Amino acid sequence: MISRAFDFLSRRIDGPLAAALALTISLGLAVVYSASAGSMDRTFGQVRNLAIAAVALWIFAQIHPRVLMQVALPTYLAGLALLVGVALFGEIRNGARRWLNLGFTTIQPSEVMKIAVPLVLAWYFHRREEGLRLRDFLLAAVLLVIPVGLIARQPDLGTALLIFASGFFVIFLAGLSWKVLGTLVALGGAALPFVWSVMHDYQRQRILTLLDPSQDPLGAGYHIIQSTIAIGSGGILGKGWLNGTQAQLDFVPERSTDFILAVFGEEFGLVGNVILMVLYLLIIARGMMITANASTVFSRLAAGAITLTFFTYAVVNMGMVSGILPVVGVPLPMVSYGGTALLSMLAGFGILMSISTHKQLVAS
């Protein structure tokens, strides 16, 4: 009975990936507990978020990649429609128009796009398998730029960046020629002044603050200064769980969400950071293996994009909290408190597992 239940639950679940994820998540829960000043409410809230996300992972793991490929375009189009809806009727919270009120609940359509964009691009390249031309890449770029543009306009730079990254990985892995890539990079460099001019003030401020946090120590620079102090003061071994002064005395802002690495780094030190990075690398390595062994273009590209997006999450967050990247709203994957990011991420890993466990059937 028990073994049958276990069989059911572990159906199409990739063991190594699941183990690495479970370890990271457990570590995350301990930090969320510390970062919420020992309040169980937040910790239980995160457990509930995890439960929901785990269910999503399991469900996605059961879905055949072929089905995912079939729903990719409709999902993408629906997501696009919702994004337009947000732009037209969205609710403004904290100065950004990100939420859409559906009457019974409010949603952030940009979260849907985190999955839909890499899938639709993978689907697109899968269909154009033979002889990809520049024209195909151009169209793919359009598929990518529309949602990214809409999300960046909300403004939600963090999410836009992540979705752009996921799409870019698909295009890159699909084989976009280096010549075009080089040209794009050159053009992008040339367009920087223009980008600067259309950026929101707070976005510009974040970049300026990164370059010199001390010029605004109580304003925008405060986050970075306090989080680097927290991490640095943690030393090699850390101050111990629940004993970080920067964290416990409230000096680290957003300490249970985007800046949770400051709490972790302060309390667990360099050793903790290395362990976390090793766990991330294990997850990424497993993802890369799945990607390399995937049997169709779609599954290859989708798996690669999901893995690399996860990597982007981790690096952007760790880079920003440790003060080497600008502050964008990106959570620390599997650790930061919050349900939506966790849901889209674990759903992504579900897809990865589905790709990993379904490949033999397709190979023939």
Partner 1 sequence: MIGQAMRDQQRELTVFRNRLMLLGLAILVAFGVLLARFTWLQVVQQSYYHTLAEQNRISVVPVVPNRGLILDRNGLVLAANYSAYTLEVTPSKVASVERAIDELARVIDVSARDRRRFRKLAEESKNFESLPIRTRLTEEEVARFAVNRYRFPGFEIKARPFRSYPQGEVASHAIGYIGRINDADVKRIDAAGLTTNYKGTDHIGKLGIEGAYEKELHGITGSEQVEIDAGGRAIRSLSRNEPVSGNNLVMTLDLKLQKIAEQAFGDYKGALVAIDPRNGEVLALVSQPGFDPNLFVDGIDPQSWDALNNSPDKPLNNRALRGQYPPGSTIKPFMALAALESKKRNPEYAISDPGYFTLAGVAHRYGDWKKGGHGMVNMHKAIEVSCDTYFYGLANEMGIDLIHNYMTRFGFGSRTGIDIDGELPGLAPSQEWKMQRFHQKWYAGDTVSVGIGQGYMLATPLQLATATAILANGGRPVHPHLLEAVQDAKTREMHPVQMPQDDAQPVVKRENLDFIRAAMIDVTKPGGTAVVAFSNAPYAVAAKTGSAQVVGMKQGEKYDERRMKKEHWDNALFIAFAPADDPKIAVGIMVENGQHGGSTAAPIARQMFDYYLLGKEPAPKKAAPKPDESTPPDTAEEEHD
Residue 179's φ and ψ, nearest 5 degrees, are: -60, -50
Q: Tokens at residue 29, please?
A: 């829960």
Give residues 251-270 in contact with partner 1 (rule: CB under 8 A).
251, 265-266, 269-270
Before 155, cis peptide (omega within 30)? Answer: yes
Q: Tokens at residue 186, please?
A: 């050159």
- Lay out the site mask for partner 1 across 108-147 (x = CB under 8 A, - = otherwise): ---------------------xxxx---------------
Question: Would you count residue 29 as binding partner 1 (CB under 8 A)?
Answer: no
Ordered alpha helix ranges (H), 213-259 = 221-234, 245-248
Question: Would you count residue 38 as binding partner 1 (CB under 8 A)?
Answer: no
Q: Which of 195, 184, 112, 181 is nearest to 152 (CA)?
A: 195
Q: Which is nearer to partner 1, 154 or 322 (CB)?
A: 322
Among the candidate windows 69-77, 185-193, 228-236, 341-349, which touches partner 1 by CB under 8 A? 228-236
Question: Would you count residue 234 as binding partner 1 (CB under 8 A)?
Answer: yes
333 Cβ neighbours under 8 A, 6+ residues apart: 24, 280, 310, 313, 314, 317, 341, 345
Q: Which is nearer to partner 1, 99 or 310 (CB)?
A: 310
Pairing of strands 96-101, 91-93: antiparallel
CA distances from 131 to 121, 122, 126, 231, 349 (A): 16, 15, 11, 50, 30
Residues binding partner 1: number (CB under 8 A): 48
What DSSP string describes 58-79? Answer: HHHHHS-HHHHHHHHHHHHHHH
Q: Which is nearer to partner 1, 84 or 225 (CB)?
A: 225
Question: Would you count residue 166 as binding partner 1 (CB under 8 A)?
Answer: no
Task: Please report, as a single letter, which amino acid is at residue 266.
Answer: E
Question: Would you count residue 86 as binding partner 1 (CB under 8 A)?
Answer: no
Q: Which is nearer to partner 1, 99 or 264 (CB)?
A: 264
- Lay out the site mask for partner 1 across 311-350 (x = CB under 8 A, - = otherwise): x---x--xx--xxx--------------------------
Question: CB–CB of 202/196 below 8 Å?
Answer: no
Q: Which is nearer to partner 1, 132 or 199 (CB)?
A: 132
Question: CB–CB of 211/220 below 8 Å?
Answer: no
Give residues 274-303 in contact with partner 1 (rule: CB under 8 A).
274, 277, 280-281, 284, 288, 291-292, 297, 300
Tell me the residue length of the chain.
364
Q: Which is nearer to partner 1, 208 or 229 (CB)?
A: 229
At closest approach, how far in Å is the CB of 353 from partner 1? 19
Given the rule CB under 8 A, which residues bind partner 1? 129-132, 169, 172-175, 226, 228-236, 245-246, 249-251, 265-266, 269-270, 273-274, 277, 280-281, 284, 288, 291-292, 297, 300, 304, 308, 311, 315, 318-319, 322-324
